[in-house]
Amino acid sequence: MKKPMFTLDPLTRKRIDRFKQIKRGYWSWRALLVLVILSLFSELFINSRAIVVSYEGKLYFPTYGAVIPGTTFGLDYQYETNYRELSKTLKANGKGWVLMPLVPYSAYEQDFKEGVYPPYAPSLVSRHFLGTDSIGRDIVARLVYGFRIAILFSLAYVFITFFIGTVIGCLMGYWGGWFDTIFQRIIEIWEQVPFLYVVMIVGSIYKPNFAIFLLIFIIFGWSSRTWRVRAMTYRERERDYILAAKAMGASTWRIISVHIVPNVLVVIVTMLPFAISGAISSLTALDYLGFGLRPPTPSWGELISQGISAYKTAPWILTSVVSAMTVILVMIAFIGEGLRDAFDPKKFTVYK
């Protein structure tokens, strides 16, 4: 027998069906899902390492794994092979072939042409499809890897803060009394700490890495997630089914996880997309101001700041990053709007 707990209840199924009917939300969801999954494997599409190298009859897959020194392929250096050069060499001496990714540059690598200073304009020949930034790094690579970091960051941030916020909010609403009062006051005080200033102070003292940055965001982000859950829990806990569960001797944890959370999940789900786009925006803003992740890390904020300082000589930097950001944020907003309408009890919104 299938466990009844894990089957979807009819209400949830109806909501999912309704979400699928809201075309732009559903298509944005699918497109974004594809983008996120592709970005997780972006080493296969955008990388200075080759996908496959055939050398003297042997096949090499350098994408993931340790550095392969140039001597392996009969070159005269010990450091990592330059696969773009190798491709030319092998074509000349006929000892094998190299399959390069679509964009044969990594996000960190500087590509210099002789006699010209970067930024280089977009070019199909050099495979810098959106050009390079002012120190010669490929913009497509920077954009995609920057997107990957931003989206993973905001997903982790949003899910962790919502988890903490839901647990504490539920307990506040369910226990009420002193626990509620004390946590309300703690949160009210905590929310007065100016979060962005704290991040800037920490960011200016030492450049934080991904984990520390996430931790700071979480420490200041969980509290605002508690309010709505707390209010919903207050409403739910007075209902008879909670009393019935208590009469059966259900534990607090059971009442919260089996009975209350599924019924307050609506507010959480409808808030999620907007929280995610908010997190992407604030990460970008911090990077733009230079208080974000440590510099060589690819980031949209840093691209925007480069683009602004060079928008006359290299307009492709600003155009590409702003377009990318607009598309992503609009898609997330569409998803959020679709979810909100799918979960709306008054479900007669007209779409045009």
Contact positions vs other proteins (CB under 8 A)? 1, 3-5, 7, 9-12, 239-241, 243-251, 254, 258-259, 262-263
Nearer to other proteins, 4 or 65 (CB): 4
**Smallest distance, other proteins to C-beta of residue 343, A:** 14
CA–CA distance, 184 with 68 (Å, rounded to integer): 57
Nearer to other proteins, 205 or 248 (CB): 248
Residue in the block written with tokens 């590509």: 111
Nearer to other proteins, 185 or 239 (CB): 239
CA–CA distance, 167 with 53 (Å, rounded to integer): 51
Degrees, nearest 5: CA angle 195-200-204: 155
Instruction: State which H helix or E strand residue 172 sits in.
Output: helix 139-175
Beta-carbon contacts of 133 under 8 Å, excluding residues fewer than 6 positions away, are 118, 119, 139, 142, 303, 306, 314, 317
**Smallest distance, other proteins to C-beta of residue 164, A:** 23
**Smallest distance, other proteins to C-beta of residue 224, A:** 24
Nearer to other proteins, 195 or 234 (CB): 234
CA–CA distance, 5 with 112 (Å, rounded to integer): 59
**Smallest distance, other proteins to C-beta of residue 195, A:** 31
Degrees, nearest 5: CA angle 132-104-76: 110
- Return the structure tokens found at 205: 């003292």
**Smallest distance, other proteins to C-beta of residue 144, A:** 40
**Smallest distance, other proteins to C-beta of residue 184, A:** 12
Nearer to other proteins, 130 or 260 (CB): 260
Nearer to other proteins, 250 or 333 (CB): 250
Task: Give how far Cα 147 sits from Cα of 47, 196, 339, Å.
Answer: 15, 21, 23
Q: Which pairs count as long-range contacts for 202-206, CB under 8 Å and 24+ apart, including other chains?
A: 203/286, 203/290, 203/291, 203/292, 204/291
Q: Which of 108, 109, 101, 97 is nearest to 127 (CA)?
A: 101
Nearer to other proteins, 33 or 244 (CB): 244
Nearer to other proteins, 265 or 327 (CB): 265
**Smallest distance, other proteins to C-beta of residue 162, A:** 19
**Smallest distance, other proteins to C-beta of residue 339, A:** 18
CA–CA distance, 200 with 177 (Å, rounded to integer): 37
